[in-house]
Amino acid sequence: MKDSILQRREVREWLAQVGEAEILVGIPSYNNAATIGHVVRAIQAGLAKYFPDCKAVLVNADGGSLDGTGDVVRQAAVADLAALFTQHRTVPLQRLATPYYGLPGKGSAFRAIFELAEALGVKACAVVDSDLRSITPEWAELLLKPVLGGEFDYVAPLYRRHKYDGTITNSIIYPLTRALYGRRVRQPIGGDFGFSGKLASFFLNKDVWESDVARFGIDIWMTTSAIANGYRVCQAYLGAKIHDPKDPGADLSAMLCQVVGATFDLMEEYSGVWTGVVASQPVPTFGFDYAVGLEPVAVNVERMVDRFALGVRDLGDVWSTVLPPTLVTKLSRLAQADAKHFHLPDELWVETVVHFALAAHRSVMNREHLLKSLTPLYIGRTASFVLQTRESSSDEVEDLIEGLCRLYEQEKAELCANWMQKSAN
Amino acid sequence: MDTTERTLVSPLQSTLEQIQSFLPQLLAALFIVACGFFVGWLFKVVVRRMLLWLKFDAGCGRLGLSELLGRNGNGEMPSTMVARLCGGLVVLVFVVLAINSLNINVLQHLIERFLAYLPNVLVAGLVMLAALYLGSFVGRAVLIACVNAGNRLARLCARSAHALVLALGGVMALEQLGIGKDAVLLAFAIAFGGVVLALALAFGLGGRELARDFLEKKLRPAAEEDELKHL
């Protein structure tokens, strides 16, 4: 296989030394020395507490960190497990910190993890982000146990997040995925997942590693592939999700392009699946839901509205090839409002996303241009959401998102009709 | 009588004889042209069907060519335009054959020269087409990138990028056609160098504050920056 991590001599030696394992926990990273130590310790403690008799390995797939992330992974250890648990872990935890091959990105790191999972013949895998500050040992249990028990193949995370956190998830990915595939997976791109060894092999053998999936598109690709291919999916309540305030080197436009692009690509691949789905159903959920304190998030709404207005002023011609004229006119009117009273209605937003999906399907322009031109609209939508929910509690925000999901579900009939029309042509 | 015959009748007879001998050739040439139109039409239909079967329009859309051809042409589908061009080329070939069949030296000589020059015209046309496509692509890429970066001069930047690519394409096309080879190249080099120098001076002298702000923003993270996590 091209760009396989198994080509590395030290990896092959490590595999020969380990032989087989039942559990693999993967941590993709890039310059996360400040936070990865805590993540490794939490996983180590979780495996010791909940899976003391299982042979487990921890793999750090790194994107070429220059801050000593690998060293931190190798050295991080819970000082005294006996002080934490009455029962001490009996099987030692094997660990590997190695750079991955392929396109730089989270997806390529996951691919390396899948390869190792297949090579070790593991029963259950979990992947967790390396910038987490709120991870606890319980995450290991919640992500792995439903899979080890043989009841489920894929465990998606469920968190308590700040109302302004995960805005791409809340305004596009969750509602769209739910409307398309009919499963209410609340955090389809949460970043922390559990899955079976069988599913890891399925992911590995797909030819997607030169696309957006190799980057930020990996999360939505995994979740959608699991749902669309009939794997048993559940979600686990993990508590709060608090991570580093900055994604290193993350550019919003590129991130949006990769995630939304992967979602649109999946719509092409699984059009035979989603066009036949009507309404949505909840998925089984594990874990104990409890309220958590979350750190405040600073948002500069004026600047966001300004970016939206700039988009309306300069990208009108580009949007005209994607959106119907009435929609472009409505967006232009919105740009004239002052920042304090700016409001982009949900109906308008859903219609916009649907037209972008159809435009991608019809190849009306270069795909990257199309997806990147969505950025000012997304920023406008986020500004509107922030203004709308300034005084709202997290439950009220959830109700708003639920309303948005219903709008996406209502709009699906039109999406299907237009999609089929193009396919027939 | 003799004079009349010599000055009027003989030339007239001779002309009539020439016309008589030329008429079959002319009719044959017209027949060839008519055949050309029919074969060209047939070829156009076949090419269009083949392109539709190959999903050529969708491919052009993915490359951004549909939009370009739509804007610069008459809004036809790319497959129709290519099929029309192929049909036109077939008609041209038949017209050349027809002219050759007339056996007129001057016309044959002109056609020879035209045919020898035709590849240059075709290459120049292709260069300009590529420049149009690239210019449009680069212009839009610059526009979107600038807008996403919050640059208020996004349109100006995009138009400049577009114009630069078109100018470069134009110079290459003219060079291919052999029109004012050195003069055009020299003029372009001087103009391009002048623009770059002017921009450098403008940014260096006029935009010192802007440059300092830019570097400060790059080196020192802004305190008021958003802390949104989008994923």
The predicted pLDDT at position B67 comes to: 63
Residue A248: the pLDDT is: 41
B67 and A168 within 8 Å at the Cβ level: the answer is no
The verdict on a CB contact (< 8 Å) between A243 and B229 is yes
Instruction: Name the 3-class secondary structure at A123.
Output: coil
Residue A12 C-beta-side C-alpha neighbours within 13 Å: 5
Give the range among A138-142, A243-247, A320-324, B175-179 with minimum mean pLDDT.
A243-247
Reported as a pLDDT band with limits 50, 70 and 90, residue A211 is confident
CB contact under 8 A, B143 and A363: no
Contacts of A158 (CB under 8 A, 6+ apart): A186, A187, A190, A235, A236, A237, A238, A285, A287
pLDDT at B101 over 50: yes
Tens of pLDDT, residue by residue over A261-288, are: 999 999 999 999 999 998 899 999 998 8
pLDDT over 80 at B221, yes or no: no
pLDDT recorded at residue B77: 80
Summarised one tens digit per residue, pLDDT across range A164-190 is 888 999 999 999 999 999 999 999 999
A168 part of contact set with chain B, CB < 8 Å: yes
Find the radius of gyration of the CA atoms of chain A.
Answer: 22
Of B38, B227, B95, B212, which Cα lies nearest the Cα of A295?
Answer: B227
CA distance A223 to chain B (A): 14
Check B64 against A366: CB less than 8 A apart: yes
Predicted-complex ipTM score: 0.86
Residues of B within 8 A of A170 (CB-CB) are: none
Q: What proportion of chain A, given as a percentage, has pLDDT over 70? A: 94
Residue A393 φ/ψ, nearest 5 degrees: -80, 170
Name the residue of chain A whose CA is nearest to B221's CA. Answer: A246
- The pLDDT assigned to A6 comes to 87
The more confident residue out of B199 and A109 is A109
> Quick one: pLDDT band at residue B215, thresholds 50, 70, 90?
low
HEC readout, A316-385: HHHHHCCCCHHHHHHHHHHCCCCHHHCCCCHHHHHHHHHHHHHHHHHCCCCHHHHHHCCHHHHHHHHHHH
Task: Tell whether A111 lies on the interface with B, counting CB pairs under 8 A.
Answer: no
Across the interface, do B140 and A166 touch by the CB < 8 Å criterion? no
Average of per-residue pLDDT across A224-239:
95
**Residue/partner pairs of A320-324 with CB below 8 Å, 24 or more apart:** A321/A359, A321/A364, A321/A365, A321/B67, A322/A355, A322/A356, A322/A359, A322/A364, A322/A365, A322/A370, A322/A373, A323/A352, A323/A355, A324/A355
Does residue A355 surpass a pLDDT of 90?
A: yes
The string of pLDDT tens digits covering residues B124-168 is 989 998 998 899 999 999 999 999 998 889 999 999 999 989 988
Task: Give how far B186 is from chain A: nearest CA, Å.
Answer: 35
Report CB contact under 8 Å: B230, A365.
Answer: no
Asked if the model's pLDDT at residue A123 lies above 90, the reply is yes
A11 to chain B, closest Cα gap in Å: 31
Tell me: pLDDT of A249 over 50: no
Cα gap A349→A346, rounded to integer Å: 5
Q: How much is the average pLDDT of A368-382?
A: 95
* Whether the Cβ atoms of residue A21 and residue A122 lie closer than 8 Å to each other: yes
pLDDT surpasses 90 at B177: no
Say how many CB pairs under 8 Å bridge A and B: 100
Q: What are the Cα distances from residue A271, in Å, to A181, A263, A277, B59?
A: 10, 12, 10, 20
Percent of chain A at pLDDT above 90? 62
**Predicted confidence (pLDDT) per residue in A49-90, tens digit:** 899 889 999 999 988 888 888 888 888 876 655 555 555 555
Residue of A363, A364, A425 to mutate when probing chain B, most B C-beta within 10 A? A363
- Find the CB nearest B144 among A165, A259, A318: A318
Q: Distance between CA A208 and CA A214 in Å, rounded?
A: 7
| Whole-number pLDDT of residue A126 | 96
Q: Is 80 exceeded by the pLDDT of residue A303? A: yes
For residues A208 and A268, what is the distance between their CA atoms, to the nearest angstrom? 14
* Cα A5 from Cα A119, distance rounded (Å): 11
Cross-chain residue pair A365–B64, CB shorter than 8 Å: yes
Q: What is the pLDDT of residue B69?
A: 64
User: Can you read off the two tokens belonging to residue B195?
Assistant: 């623009």
Confidence tier at A344 by pLDDT (50, 70, 90): very high
Tell me the nearest-neighbour CA distance from A310 into chain B, angstroms: 7
Helix and strand tally (H, E) in chain B? Answer: 9, 0
Residue B223 clears pLDDT 50, i.e. is over it? no
Mean pLDDT of B109-115: 85
Q: What is the pLDDT of residue B75?
A: 63
pLDDT grade for B222, boundaries at 50, 70 and 90: very low
Provide the residue ranges of all domains of chain A, joining segments of one domain with +: 5-286, 301-424
Reported as a pLDDT band with limits 50, 70 and 90, residue A224 is very high
Residue of A nearest to B140 (CA): A369
Averaged pLDDT, A112-134? 94
Which of 3.90.550.10, 3.10.270.10, 3.30.43.10, 3.40.50.300 would CATH assign to domain A5-286? 3.90.550.10
Q: How far is CA A97 from CA A30, A46, A51, A409, B184, in A?
A: 12, 19, 22, 43, 59
Q: What is the token pair recorded at A418? A: 């237009």
